[in-house]
Amino acid sequence: MATPILIVSFTPPFRSDDFGGLVAAHAEAGLEVALEERRPLGPMAGLEWLTLTSIILFIGGSYFGGMLKKLGEDHYQVLKTQVKGLYGKLVGPKAPRVTMIGTPGKVAAQRRYSLLFSLLAEAADGLRFKLLVPEAASEQLYAEAVDAFVDFLDAFHHGKLSAQAITDLQKVQVVGKTMLLAYDEALKRVVPMDPRASSERANPGQVTNE
């Protein structure tokens, strides 16, 4: 069996059924979505924006290559629609909140980006792009971020990034083979983020879902 191009990696209390719609929609096009249950997150240390989130949707690079040509451009919208459909469970006001407990003064009092959910995509030469999802984002903001991220991936894999986007990427140093991206509402596109320029740092602490 071929290696899955789309993978949903999750921890309890989430279950496979929570992602049934995404799995079914892709199965209709003959594309497998692998579901990977992980053990609950324990103590972690490092830069907060690089912290492993509870739920990760991984998009393999080959999705934008031969697989997309095989499936057709319509499937490009299926991916967007299904990812945006996760809003209520993973981002909206009813989504669980992740609490980070650690040394006072070293954990951000007000978090900008979610520790519950992130999108991770394969680039090239071991590089990955991670979309930072705004904490408690509105449904519209989340939808715009997903659209912009998938559009960015499509442009990257087909050599269609703008000169400005390329320049922006070159300015930010990659940490742990992961390039962080976040949606800029003013620019209406994703932009690279430098994790070491942020004051949001995670020290050894317990991460829990509320």
Q: Is 155 left (phi over 0), alpha (psi -120 to 50) or beta?
A: alpha
Q: What is the DSSP string of 129-192?
A: EEEEEETT--HHHHHHHHHHHHHHHHHHHTT---HHHHHHHHHS--BTTEEEEEEETTTTEEEE
Against a cut of 0.75, is the pTM above it?
yes
Query: What contacts 140, CB < 8 A, 6 or more positions away?
Result: none
Q: What's the confidence (pLDDT) of residue 158?
A: 86
The reply to whether omega before 13 is within 30° of 0 (cis) is: yes
Q: What's the confidence (pLDDT) of residue 201?
A: 47
Residue 1: inside a domain: no
Q: What's the confidence (pLDDT) of residue 120?
A: 96
Domain carrying residue 42:
6-209
Angle at the Cα of 154 from the Cα atoms of 152 and 157, rounded to 5 degrees: 105
Query: What contacts 187, CB < 8 A, 6 or more positions away?
Result: none
Q: What's the confidence (pLDDT) of residue 46?
A: 59
Residue 102: inside a domain: yes
Residue 13: inside a domain: yes
The shares of helix, strand and coil residues in the chain, as percent rounded to the nearest 5, are 35, 30, 35
> What is the bridge-based pairing of β-strands 55-59 and 113-122?
parallel
Place of tokens 């400005």: 164
Q: Is 87 left (phi over 0), alpha (psi -120 to 50) or beta?
A: alpha
Rg, the chain, Cα only: 17
Q: What's the confidence (pLDDT) of residue 71?
A: 61
* Number of domain units in the chain: 1
Tens of each residue's pLDDT in the chain, 210 residues: 455 689 999 999 999 999 999 999 888 877 889 999 998 765 555 577 888 899 999 998 888 876 666 665 667 788 899 999 999 999 999 898 877 655 555 555 567 899 999 999 998 888 999 999 998 899 999 999 999 999 999 899 889 999 999 999 999 888 889 999 999 999 999 999 988 765 444 443 444 455
Check if the beta carbon of residue 26 is closer than 8 Å to that of residue 73: no
